[in-house]
Structure 1
């Protein structure tokens, strides 16, 4: 049985990226859009790990974790604060991870805390996906965005909706926010405008520029690469 993670963040895009990244390495992920919903879910269910944003409209992640701990809801539960805020208060004993380090970094931290998912026993279906399986994905897609611009957010929503119809193990999808810096991959991919979606593998490299309102071309790329659709 997959170990369960609760991700609490008021930002829809962040919740989606964390959920998908952790599911790709085999964890079962539940999301909540704020501290009140997070506490409600903690009262209803036991999680192996809680990942929370720090600064949310209805309270801080550290406040939520204190409330949950005082109510006995965090026994044998690991906790992480995932934040873009430089100064985090009341975080004694809680590991803090900067959002600017990206989802790959937080996945690495989760694996350090919980370890990789154990192999499932024979007869209970295939083992959960692992980082090695991501390397063997059938297509690699990178979406370059520019912070919370409307076009970038539309492109990300379009990709979220489209990829929900395909097998996630077979798609290596990353989001690179150029508002946080320009990595070497942006130079390699010759990115001049955002949002831009790049198919890096399989070759030849393909670029789709714009808010991805029409996803027909992307569907063609996925289908041509042999990515299986969910039933």
Structure 2
């Protein structure tokens, strides 16, 4: 059964998140709260864990996963970012935005878009998740925790543990999430002088980004 870590939402206990990170380091999958909804996460470079995570969600390799980063400097190691893109990213991070950018060679081919060589990246604004990323020392791959055949993500840690306890390794319980999807922006048109494209309008305000 998945281990349940009850973490304070504003003052997360490092000891508990260190235990959760050990599960990730050992190839595990965690359910964690973000600033939009609960998500499943695993190590970026662990193909077995990535494949397991896709099986839990029942999604194939055509569905792109998102890279969760601690900050802008880490994000820039995994995506090509020019000055215009950087200024926009600075306005929206940390926050409930997913940015599609051209992937660098640091991103394994299996998790970037096969034709476009792009990747979706986020810098989440959630204290427990930020501490987990800090303890892990590198980005995590993530997918929204929507049960197969359903349309809404789960928002209760105990329900997640009950329904997915045999399929994942741990659940970080730091309270509920806003249950509103991130705003998704494709920044790749900016590489050739174009404007960002709004792929999905969600919790992140477009006005905050000047769009």
- Greater fraction of residues in helix: 1
Larger RCO, structures 1/2 (Cα 8 Å, 6+ apart): 2
Under TM normalisation by the shorter chain, which class is it?
under 0.3
TM-score, structure 1 normalization: 0.22
